[in-house]
Amino acid sequence: MLYRALREIANLITFKGWQTAEAREKYKIAKSTKKDLIAPESHANDAVALLCLLCDGNVNSEASFWYWQRPELVRRSLHRDKREA
């Protein structure tokens, strides 16, 4: 459903995992398997590798790295809401 919706608004190009791995190797882009590491090597470098592939390597890879973090949801946390009297 997502791909169909994206194709309605833009040209969608998809890649296989092996194509991403080849692009990382071709452009010498590091990859980390540690997903708890908050760094481009573990989250963003696949996208950078594919962008290099599409733009023939003319990509500024020194750009800022931003990430989203899930909000901490705790059940039954009334003690957090108590105000000191």
* pLDDT, tens digit (0-9, with 9 covering 90-100), for 30-83: 888 887 777 777 778 888 888 888 888 777 666 666 767 777 776 666 666 665
Give the dihedral of Cα atoms 27, 33, 35, 40; nearest 10 deg: -20
pTM of the model: 0.60
What are the CB-based long-range contacts (under 8 Å, 24+) for 13-21? 13/54, 15/50, 15/53, 19/50, 19/53, 20/46, 20/49, 20/50
- CB-based contact 40:69 (threshold 8 Å): no
